[in-house]
Amino acid sequence: MTAIGINVNTRAVKASVEPRTHLADFLRDHLNLTGTHLGCEHGVCGACTLLIDDMPARSCITFAATCDGARVITIEGLDDDEIATELRTAFTREHALQCGYCTPGMLISARDLVLRLDTADERAIRVGLSGNLCRCTGYVGIVRAVRAVIEDRRKRGIRPITGAGRVRLGPVGSGNGTSVERSKTTWSSASSEVQERSISRAAIPDFIPDRVFEQHFMVASPPDKVFATFGDIRLVASCLPGVSLTGDPTPEHVEGVIRVRLGPISAGFRGTARIERDPSTLSGQIVGRGDDQRSRSSTQGEIRYRLVAMEQGAATRVELSIGYSLQGMLAQIAREGLVRDLAARLTADFARNLDLELSGHGGSGPAQQAQSIDGLALMFDQLRALVRKIFGKIFGKS
Ligand code: FES
Ligand code: FES
């Protein structure tokens, strides 16, 4: 995984990506910016066009990792852009779209022409848009719309900008990736092994999880006691089935392995996590990431917790928000419902073990730690529930 920092639609985004992840997938799958469409995924159709450092670029053939330090603008980032607004109006008026699949990429290329072209020359517009394919419209409406916007702006005295303000030579994004440029940015670069190691140990970055869900459980101990226990990382790890530590934890950092089995695949995610705690609000968060070499999968996860006093302070409701992103082979089979059930079972086991520890009857030990979380059993549980439901419907029972 490579740590990157990209400015997307004026928002600073830090993430860790596989070297092969292309920018379009990163934007769509990690940031939910689905306005960037994917057609050919070979750099031919132009559907995935967006702006990298103000230059139109194919995001399907641009690796996200090479955009570290770049400024990316997608169609969503042009909502309030003056030229894009004029183009959208002209596209609507001139019937320049039908299914709309090519339209985001077409608008971004068209905006670049409106910025650069001196006159509304039809041939220049057709050449300029030749990298954006449209299966529906026959292009007549599109060219008419772009011509209309250019003519209107020139009539209003708005002059073209030579080269659309570009100062760099070379391919799109070539301004990023030189050590001189990168050292000036506020984000740390993962370009050297030393930096990579220090990132993995100390700076586990925040990320935007693909999936987030809530869980809660009760323990029969006061919140202060539960919070203090959460500070004992070894004890917390011993309460989690399938988890074992691989180093000495500190209050802010932990390294370990979590073993899970999903369908036919067993995985042992080896990783590292950052721990933050706030005693004033009895809350905290753990943000981590890990890789499983065997299934060539990787995950990022975060657990946020908050402790709420119940039963006049004698008991605690532990509220959890669990977020994760999964890449690699396991992502193909780990459907959201299965992961959710896995987390529910993990949470239930953790709650039970924690309760035992807090009441002085701790049952966690090596045998328990060695267990993995069995996703196959979960699938059978789900199957059993489904069969029960079907028979219930047939025989009129719930
Ligand atoms: S999807 Fe990128 S050029 Fe076709
Ligand atoms: S409007 Fe359908 S592909 Fe262009």
> For 320-374, how does the pLDDT look when each residue is reduced to its tens digit (9 = 90+)?
888 887 777 777 666 667 777 777 877 888 888 888 888 887 654 444 444 544 5
Q: Are 299 and 324 in contact (CB under 8 A)?
A: yes
161 lines ligand 2 (CB under 6 A): no
Instruction: Using the predicted structure, report yes or no on whether residue 139 has a pLDDT greater than 90.
Output: yes
Q: Are 315 and 218 in contact (CB under 8 A)?
A: yes
- Select from 38, 91, 98 the residue to mutate for testing ligand 2; criterion: most ligand atoms less than 8 Å from CB: 98
Q: What is d(CA 277, CA 305) in angstroms, rounded to the nearest whole number?
A: 9
Q: What is d(CA 247, CA 267) in angstroms, rounded to the nearest whole number?
A: 20
Instruction: Using the predicted structure, report yes or no on whether residue 102 has a pLDDT greater than 70.
Output: yes
Ligand 1 atom 3, closest CA: 43
Sequence-distant (≥ 6) Cβ neighbours of residue 342 within 8 angstroms:
260, 262, 373, 375, 378
How many other β-carbons are positioned within 10 Å of the β-carbon of residue 208?
A: 15
Ligand 1 pocket, residues with Cβ under 6 angstroms? 38-41, 43-48, 58, 60
Rounded distance from Cα 125 to ligand 1 centre (Å): 20
Burial status of residue 12 (CB atoms within 10 A of its CB: 0-12, 13-18, 19 or more): exposed
Of the listed ranges 31-35, 164-168, 260-264, 346-350, the one predicted with least confidence = 164-168
Instruction: Please tell me the predicted confidence (pLDDT) of residue 247.
Output: 82
Counting ligands in written order, which one lies closest to the CA of residue 106?
2
Counting ligands in written order, which one lies closest to the CA of residue 142?
2
Of the listed ranges 25-39, 119-133, 138-152, 199-213, the one predicted with least confidence = 199-213
pTM of this structure = 0.48
Instruction: Please tell me the predicted confidence (pLDDT) of residue 383.
Output: 52
